[in-house]
Amino acid sequence: MLRYTALALGVAIALVAAPVNIQAQPTGTMSDSDYMAKIMTAAPAAVVKGATIVQMQKDGSMRALQTGSNGFTCMVAGASDAMCADSNAMLWAKAWMAHTAPPNKVGFVYMLAGDNGASNTDPYATAPVAGNHWVKTGPHVMIVGPSARTMGYPATADPDPTKPYVMWSGTPYAHLMIPVTGQQPM
């Protein structure tokens, strides 16, 4: 999961979990209509319609734009990483942010607008540097939890982001990245 994971999931965790030190950039300067338009790119419309939608403000507080009922939380981190995560993925992200053992549960995340990239080997990298195997994945979904390590997909440091691969292999936070198009991200 990458920088967007650190950013986007960290934002949502701030809403649903105990306060955690996160490196998310506030999106509170975006108009509600622009924010909602960006959120609509994260997941299928039916998922977004039933999700809790949150937005980080300049002061670090969270503002709920929509209270949902389907167990998904959607947000935009930084300027453009839109995502929707189910409740198990949120628990996984809480563990990742707190550097604790993730729960023994399978979670699911939509990122149908793609991402801005992240290290494929270092769960806590925030920028591309020599040796951290930065990778951008276009539109994708993620499976988090213990099953990602045993599904038989490539777990190399430099994956082909047009095919399923394991990110953060060898860490407790290994997860499966599944592109939903065969296109190379820009």
Q: What does the pLDDT look like over 105-152, one tens digit per residue?
A: 999 999 999 888 889 999 988 888 888 899 988 899 999 998 888 899
| 18 — pLDDT class (breaks 50, 70, 90) | very low
Average pLDDT (88-92) is: 93
Q: Which domain holds residue 14?
A: 1-186
The lowest-confidence range among 38-42, 54-58, 64-68 is 54-58
- Banded pLDDT at 7 (limits 50, 70, 90): very low
Q: Are 72 and 111 in contact (CB under 8 A)?
A: no
- Return mean pLDDT, the chain: 83
Q: Is the pTM of this model over 0.95?
A: no
- As given in the structure block, the two tokens for residue 23 are 């490196």
Q: Higher model confidence: residue 15 or residue 47?
A: 47
Dmax (CA) for the chain in angstroms is: 43
Per the CB < 8 A criterion, the answer to whether 141 and 42 are in contact is no
**pLDDT digits over 141-170, tens only?**
999 998 888 899 999 999 999 999 999 999
Separation in Å, CA 165 to CA 113, 178, 179: 18, 7, 9
| Residue 184 pLDDT exceeds 80 | no
- Of 77 and 18, the one with more pLDDT: 77
Q: What is the pLDDT of residue 54?
A: 92
pLDDT class for 26, splitting at 50, 70, 90? low
| pLDDT above 90 as % of the chain | 55
Residue type (1 letter), 91 = L
Higher pLDDT, 86 or 58: 86
Distance CA 55, CA 141 (A): 21
Give the count of domains, the chain.
Answer: 1
**Residue range 67-77: average pLDDT?**
93
Structure tokens belonging to residue 166: 């394991």
H helix intervals, the chain: 3-4, 10-16, 32-39, 45-50, 87-98
